[in-house]
Structure 1
């Protein structure tokens, strides 16, 4: 089955005989009394009844519908229901701060907002005509469960190049951008490519897929199209990253393929050392969104008992989808920490990449650092209400990623830093890898380039403590760093995808929010 219409995706899977069973760590927010086990037929029915309820609320073809709720895969089921009605879903994370959420809702000017009582209380959205809550009654809103689930919801078709869905970027450097994708860019160019049955990395009918993600973001909407089309035996959905809560579900349904946020891999890492760890059957790990540091790669690949487990690391952006892939093996994970920043090579026949000088935007020779630019047919349609910002990142047919890196003579790419986060003396990201490789108790290390003095390292540990002697030994051969700030995990400001909000963290620690880069391509 090749995905096409997200509004009828689950219906088509049923017609093709899909027998996938989905297990949730908690019930859907849009179906709180329906349990945690779902078949494809039941999911198709849920999308249809949800579409009927939204139609009863007044959603019409062409409307923009903002979705803001607790993290769960029913973000994508809601989006499919909105697509079925010919409307355009805009998936917004409930972890956005109030100011950012208000700005994005203003840019969207949605006809409808589907949300929670809590979000509606902190961001009233009085100018939105239709307000629907998924978790209970609220003033000036309609509870989803009270709307008619039996009304007409015939699928409304749209042109492949018309807006299909809107996602926002992570927002590590400020207010996120709203990215518009079409059926052609997101489904045809991205999802269909992933449904190709490839040896070792393709999803098969016997696989057990675990997804532990931020379901408001664009990756999972694409993943949903891929998963439903490939029809594995079992899918396991995690909405949180507490290892003790995840452990029983993963033991009951041992995954063979795992896709998770980098931050979630870090949080679930203690499971890899348990006697009967739940990752024993894994043959393929997948990570996107952010870098995964070498000690994490090593622990998960060692925990897998498959003959040749592989970690597939993708680098890309909300605007482009995946641009490069890198495959880590156990042997590679035991190699030099700096090698983890090699992002692999551009996707063959689909992506072109070059490095240009930041000032002149002229190409530089292979092996020299600069700004990474790409060409891809999967490039999104634009930013909502920010056309000038979109156009500023276009250079002829090339897209400026805002990342600094090196394109090597063998075709591979090394990521150095985000341009806005970069400093003059070292790669902050590379230094983080080195520190984590030498400091086992560090859950995470963040190196911040600051205007005056050496870079500031922030070390995250379980208890917020760090032995000074161990720190000195870890950085003895590294470039000069300031004395570390030691924090616990929940003391670090993060985006909905678990990325560190570096500018916010820098402002909290130094009083200076602006980092050293220009921010020209953020």
Structure 2
């Protein structure tokens, strides 16, 4: 089976392959607000060519960087394809980043063009930050804004011929989650991103790969590094339909009109969608494959979705990083989750490395020598899809690279069977325990809990922060849940909206500490964040 090779001409190649997939959107694209919510491949190819013309007319030339900051939607990816087509290097930045973080990232990027919205610029201005001063030129996607170029002025211009580049030159820049501070700008190449990550997913595998008759749904953060290889592989496998959901709160009409058969979503989106399952006619009843990555997903959520479908579904749990792509896989079924560990139910076993693609090593954080199986340590990986640099922070990238091994900054251990057991990020580590496992157990044992976050601080009891369905935590159920757990501080109950989150829905633990006035001291060093 042939594999895609060029992100800039991807949609033209799909037209040549006579791909008949229809892409349906929960709302119109921000770069094409008047063109509805349904596209065939030919229309998408035309839109990417037009966008390439806009960028060229705005003065972007080969090798220059284009920064994109806007509301979450799939046009992040289409704009990236357009930039690559003219030889530029797109940088995808979430509009959920704090203005000061955006300012720092734009300073590092020094983009020839910033594509953004009035809302992003106004939010930054309210914090005393002028983002347009960090780019040579700025284009706003809606309406006029002082000292920027309105998108309407760029339309109607033909793009230049597609520009080719070496497979090892920078192709795309994305950022890490930034749960502990300013995110890192991750540089990927055609070799790591298209030939490696997307190419691997384009191999048609039994059960897990999209089939011709599937309706494939993605409800992720499209500024994330996952969005581009997902787009390439999903379209290359040519399912009947692709559904694009940009926000968890506005998805139900699209899902009801076109019930998906495969679904990849953020863990936080799965949590938000659990109430949908309470109705017998819910729109996810035909899903046969669920895919979860980006962050930890807890047992009650997985179990609810597996039992909420008419099929015999499979849950694919993926662990990876923006710097590397997917690293380990684990398949969960109703049966595997029904064998509950009465003491500590957990989904922290993340399975094995991808065969033939990834190697994994657990080492002592001080000596970097391998530790025995069953002993916690820093997790190192060897993967051909590892990023090639951090923009503006090469020394930080070098510090995490030891020859062929990449320091993930995660603490875990290998089981006797060779699987990887996730404990915590190194900066969030809890001596003798695991914050993430405690969160698994507490969510399992207290039915009203929607989300639990445990924070470890030297000299203090671990602090649980809890979100419940009704804002109330039953003290009797809570005390019962603690029966065999380490001593914890009294829980703090917050609303979902009070928890600081990244663009992928991950909890910003350092910011949450600030909300709680708990200080910034942790048991970890934070050296490899």
TM-score (norm 1): 0.98
Query: Could you say what secondary structure the match of 1:390 adopts?
Result: helix
Alpha-carbon distance, 1:512 to partner = 0.3
From 312, 318, 331, the equivalent of 1:314 is 318
Q: Deviations over 1:277-299 (max 9, x none)?
A: 11111110001110110000000
Q: Deviations over 1:79-113 (max 9, x none)?
A: 00000010000000000001100000000111110
Query: For 2:361 and 2:118, how far apart are their aligned partners in 1?
Result: 47
Matching residue of 1:18: 19
Query: For 1:97 and 1:111, how far apart are their aligned partners in 2?
Result: 22
CA contact (8 A) 1:50 1:149 kept: no
Query: Could you say what secondary structure the match of 1:436 adopts?
Result: helix
From 273, 277, 292, the equivalent of 1:268 is 273
Question: Any gaps of 5 or more consecutive residues in structure 2?
Answer: 125-129
Is 2:327 the counterpart of 1:323? yes
Matching residue of 2:105: 104
Q: Could you tell which deviates more after superposition, 320-329 or 455-464? A: 455-464
Q: Could you tell which deviates more after superposition, 143-152 or 413-422? A: 143-152
Matching residue of 1:333: 337
Query: For 1:493 and 1:502, how far apart are their aligned partners in 2?
Result: 8
Query: Could you say what secondary structure the match of 1:312 adopts?
Result: strand
Is 2:308 the counterpart of 1:303? yes
Query: Could you say what secondary structure the match of 2:330 adopts?
Result: strand
Alpha-carbon distance, 1:339 to partner = 4.1
CA contact (8 A) 1:503 1:514 kept: no
Alpha-carbon distance, 1:45 to partner = 0.6
Query: For 1:417 and 1:152, how far apart are their aligned partners in 2?
Result: 47
Matching residue of 1:137: 144
Query: For 2:134 and 2:368, how far apart are their aligned partners in 1?
Result: 42
Matching residue of 1:43: 44
Alpha-carbon distance, 1:461 to partner = 1.6
Query: For 1:469 and 1:331, how far apart are their aligned partners in 2?
Result: 30
Matching residue of 2:29: 28
Query: For 1:489 and 1:454, how far apart are their aligned partners in 2?
Result: 23
CA contact (8 A) 2:345 2:444 kept: no
Q: Deviations over 1:413-471 (max 9, x none)?
A: 00001010012131100000000000111110000001222100001123322121221
Matching residue of 1:372: 379
Query: For 1:190 and 1:459, how far apart are their aligned partners in 2?
Result: 36
Query: Could you say what secondary structure the match of 1:280 adopts?
Result: coil
Matching residue of 2:433: 426
From 252, 256, 259, the equivalent of 1:251 is 256
Query: Could you say what secondary structure the match of 1:303 adopts?
Result: coil
CA contact (8 A) 2:439 2:452 kept: yes
From 502, 506, 511, the equivalent of 1:504 is 511
CA contact (8 A) 1:503 1:515 kept: no
Query: Could you say what secondary structure the match of 1:119 adopts?
Result: helix
Query: For 1:55 and 1:138, how far apart are their aligned partners in 2?
Result: 21
Query: For 1:513 and 1:63, how far apart are their aligned partners in 2?
Result: 38
Q: Deviations over 1:212-239 (max 9, x none)?
A: 0111010011101111211110011111
Matches within 5 A, 1:55-74: 55-74=56-75
Matches within 5 A, 1:88-487: 88-121=89-122, 122=124, 123-242=130-249, 245-306=250-311, 308-334=312-338, 335-336=340-341, 338-487=345-494
Q: Deviations over 1:343-392 (max 9, x none)?
A: 00000011000100011111111121111111011111110011111111
Question: Any gaps of 5 or more consecutive residues in structure 1?
Answer: none
Query: Could you say what secondary structure the match of 2:396 adopts?
Result: helix
Q: Deviations over 1:445-500 (max 9, x none)?
A: 00000122210000112332212122111212211111000011000000010000
Query: Could you say what secondary structure the match of 1:473 adopts?
Result: helix
Query: Could you say what secondary structure the match of 1:404 adopts?
Result: strand
CA contact (8 A) 2:428 2:455 kept: yes
Matching residue of 2:127: none
TM-score (norm 2): 0.96
CA contact (8 A) 1:238 1:246 kept: yes
Query: Could you say what secondary structure the match of 2:378 adopts?
Result: strand
Query: Could you say what secondary structure the match of 2:210 adopts?
Result: coil
CA contact (8 A) 2:49 2:159 kept: no
CA contact (8 A) 1:465 1:487 kept: no
Alignment: residue pair count: 519
Query: For 2:111 and 2:121, how far apart are their aligned partners in 1?
Result: 14
Query: Could you say what secondary structure the match of 2:284 adopts?
Result: coil
Query: For 1:473 and 1:431, how far apart are their aligned partners in 2?
Result: 14
Query: Could you say what secondary structure the match of 2:242 adopts?
Result: strand
Q: Could you tell which deviates more after superposition, 276-285 or 466-475? A: 466-475
Q: In angstroms, what is the RMSD of aligned CA positions?
A: 1.1
